[in-house]
């Protein structure tokens, strides 16, 4: 029998704030209540913004909160080979293509050539232009051989055709409009997502599904801001033959201005609260609802 397995997966690109404390404590509590495992994963593929110093700070903050996790901690930057293997499978199956356009070229295409009502993804980002999806294989190969920079994008239409039916997932939390229970994924709303970036041979969407499978995660507990991205995760899981965990998207803590807390804006770092004398008990009480 597989034990229920939960994980907290922070990116070490800043200090943890109250929102992370809420997510980590909820994860650990749900794992304990289920008699399951609680794992930690450091999502550090963005080697420009992620640092070991932030990672050390995160581990210290979590330990201070009284959270205990299994060893070893999985650090994504040590597993690029696993992501490359998943990418190669998608490429070999004709489900991914090299996307060569620079940001400037995309912007120019959107202003000059895009049809009216060109779609945007749930984050508000316009879909990638269709140009590279249809490039002849010889032109692709020549441009890659010529050293042109490119990312890999999932051919969403081809992927959905391959799967034949839209994936679903079990939601034990809630989506932005209150949806829970069995959710029918809407991956087409994302268009051709990036699965490997120009600078790193991986992407959040690809790593998260590969790692959840390798770590044997059965229950993903994370912020509601990732609810829509779950549609992409479910497609990748089905294409790669990976098991689908159940998902629990929780409320986001909002700052006084009503926006979600953010590391980059330096919101309420746990460390700062600790420095002014807050105890782990104070934090837990603050987050109770
Ligand atoms: N690394 C992501 C973050 O810090 C979390 C990803 C996830 O839980 O799936 O927002």
Take atom 2 of ligand 1 and give the residue whose Cα is closest: 10
CATH of the domain at 162: 3.40.50.620
Measured in angstroms, how far is the CA atom of residue 3 from the centroid of ligand 1? 22
Residue 26 maps to a domain? yes
Residue 115 maps to a domain? yes
24 with 65: CB under 8 angstroms? yes
Q: Which domain holds residue 121?
A: 79-216+225-244
Measured in angstroms, how far is the CA atom of residue 49 from the centroid of ligand 1? 15
Asked if residue 67 and residue 4 are part of one domain, the reply reads: yes
CA atoms of 129 and 114, how far apart (whole Å): 8
Give the residues surrounding ligand 1 with Cβ less than 6 Å away: 9-11, 43, 208, 222, 226
Looking from the CA of residue 233, the nearest atom of ligand 1 is 9
CA 163 to chain centre: 21
pLDDT of residue 59: 98
Q: Are strands 37-42 and 74-75 parallel, antiparallel or unpaired?
A: parallel
Residue 249 maps to a domain? no
Closest by CA to 39, choosing from 85, 66, 3, 74, is 74
Number of independent structural domains in the chain: 2
CA 2 to chain centre: 24
Asked if residue 181 and residue 91 are part of one domain, the reply reads: yes
Residue 60 maps to a domain? yes
pTM of the prediction? 0.94
Structure tokens at 117: 């009502």
Take atom 3 of ligand 1 and give the residue whose Cα is closest: 10
Asked if residue 234 and residue 104 are part of one domain, the reply reads: yes
Measured in angstroms, how far is the CA atom of residue 18 from the centroid of ligand 1? 15
What is the per-residue pLDDT across 159-217, written as a single tens digit (0 to 9) for each? 999 999 999 999 999 999 999 999 999 999 999 999 999 989 899 999 999 999 999 99
Asked if residue 84 and residue 191 are part of one domain, the reply reads: yes
Asked if residue 102 and residue 196 are part of one domain, the reply reads: yes
Band of the pLDDT at 254, cuts 50, 70, 90? confident
Asked if residue 87 and residue 57 are part of one domain, the reply reads: no
Asked if residue 240 and residue 104 are part of one domain, the reply reads: yes
């Amino acid at each position: 029998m597989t034990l229920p397995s939960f994980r907290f997966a922070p990116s070490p690109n800043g200090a943890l704030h109250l929102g992370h404390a809420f997510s980590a404590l909820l994860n650990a509590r749900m794992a304990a209540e289920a008699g399951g495992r609680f794992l930690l994963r450091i999502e550090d593929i963005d080697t420009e913004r992620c640092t070991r110093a932030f990672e050390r700070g995160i581990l210290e903050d979590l330990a201070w909160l009284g959270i205990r996790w299994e060893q070893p901690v999985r650090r994504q930057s040590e597993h690029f080979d696993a992501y490359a293997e998943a990418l190669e499978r998608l490429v070999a199956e004709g489900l991914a293509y090299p996307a060569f356009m620079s940001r400037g070229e995309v912007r120019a295409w959107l202003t000059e050539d895009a049809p009216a009502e060109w779609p945007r993804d749930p984050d508000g980002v316009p879909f990638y232009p269709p140009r590279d999806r249809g490039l002849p294989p010889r032109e692709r190969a020549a441009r890659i051989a010529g050293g042109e920079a490119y990312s890999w994008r999932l051919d969403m239409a081809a992927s959905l055709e391959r799967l034949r039916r839209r994936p679903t997932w079990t939601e034990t939390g809630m989506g932005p409009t209150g949806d829970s229970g069995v959710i029918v994924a809407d991956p087409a709303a994302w268009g051709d997502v990036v699965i490997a970036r120009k600078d790193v041979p991986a992407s959040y969407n690809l790593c998260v599904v590969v790692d959840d499978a390798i770590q044997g995660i059965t229950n993903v507990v994370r912020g509601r801001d990732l609810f829509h991205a779950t549609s992409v995760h479910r497609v990748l899981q089905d294409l790669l033959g990976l098991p689908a965990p159940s998902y629990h998207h929780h409320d986001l803590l909002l700052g006084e201005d009503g926006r979600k807390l953010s590391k980059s804006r330096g919101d309420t770092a746990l460390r700062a609260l600790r420095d002014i004398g807050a105890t782990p008990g104070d934090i837990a009480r603050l987050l109770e609802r």
